[in-house]
């Protein structure tokens, strides 16, 4: 019999990671460059800021859900239930997920700050986070920081997803885990 609560938590965890990663990747490689078709550089910034700040709610809830479900599971399990390698992977996931949450929060705050640099978020941009020669200096610095922070955040989320997959595979082949998991809710 499958533990219903634990299985539900794992599904929600993975959905949170998928939504956060997929949305961030889409924004970085599709949305940001696509605004170049808009003639007005101010409108490019306005559209980009509106889109990202709209996604920020989804991203915060998704990554927050992944973090909360991980923390709940971590409060009961350490990875030692399988072996020392798995324990190391659990710690690696702690670090990567913590970095993902911190970077996500920084990007949300930075995006809100950027949008306030011009009426209706119309900060002049070449593409999503590429400033123009006329972009105010503080906005240009924020755009560059958000660009780098966004890339690092995508990498940390990919790391969390990869470690999660490895942990799931290790658990699936562990006779020790098979015994422990019988007692999960």
pLDDT tens readout for residues 154-176: 999 999 999 999 998 887 665 55
The chain-wide mean pLDDT, for the chain, equals 89
pLDDT tens readout for residues 131-148: 999 999 999 999 999 999
Closest by CA to 159, choosing from 69, 106, 93, is 93
pLDDT at 3: 58
pLDDT at 175: 55
Closest by CA to 110, choosing from 134, 144, 61, 83, is 144
Closest by CA to 56, choosing from 30, 22, 28, 20, is 20
CA–CA separation, 68 and 74 (whole Å): 10
pLDDT band at 15 (very low <50, low <70, confident <90, very high): very high
Tell me the longest C-alpha to C-alpha distance in the chain: 63
pLDDT band at 5 (very low <50, low <70, confident <90, very high): low
pTM here is 0.87
Closest by CA to 33, choosing from 47, 22, 21, 14, is 47
pLDDT at 178: 56
Closest by CA to 19, choosing from 8, 9, 11, 30, is 11
Over range 10-19, report the average pLDDT: 94
Burial environment of residue 142 by CB neighbours within 10 A (0 to 12, 13 to 18, 19 or more): buried
Query: Which residues, in sequence order, are CB contacts of 155 under 8 Å at separation 6+?
Result: none
List the chain domain ranges.
21-181
Residue 81: DSSP 8-state: T
Whether 6 shows a pLDDT value over 80: the answer reads: no
């Amino acid at each position: 019999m499958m533990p219903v609560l634990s299985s539900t938590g794992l599904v929600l965890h993975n959905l949170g990671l998928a939504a956060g990663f997929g949305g961030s990747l889409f924004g970085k490689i599709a949305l940001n460059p696509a605004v170049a078709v808009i003639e007005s550089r101010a409108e490019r910034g306005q559209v980009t800021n509106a889109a990202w700040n709209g996604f920020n709610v989804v991203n915060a809830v998704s990554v927050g859900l992944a973090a909360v479900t991980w923390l709940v599971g971590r409060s009961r399990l350490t990875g030692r239930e399988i072996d020392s390698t798995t324990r190391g992977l659990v710690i690696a996931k702690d670090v990567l997920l913590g970095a993902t949450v911190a970077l996500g929060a920084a990007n949300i705050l930075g995006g809100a700050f950027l949008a306030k640099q011009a009426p209706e978020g119309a900060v002049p941009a070449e593409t999503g986070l590429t400033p123009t020669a006329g972009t105010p200096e503080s906005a240009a610095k924020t755009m560059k920081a958000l660009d780098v922070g966004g890339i690092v955040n995508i990498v940390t989320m990919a790391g969390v997803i990869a470690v999660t997959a490895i942990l799931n595979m290790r658990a699936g082949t562990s006779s020790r885990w098979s015994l422990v998991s019988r007692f999960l809710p």
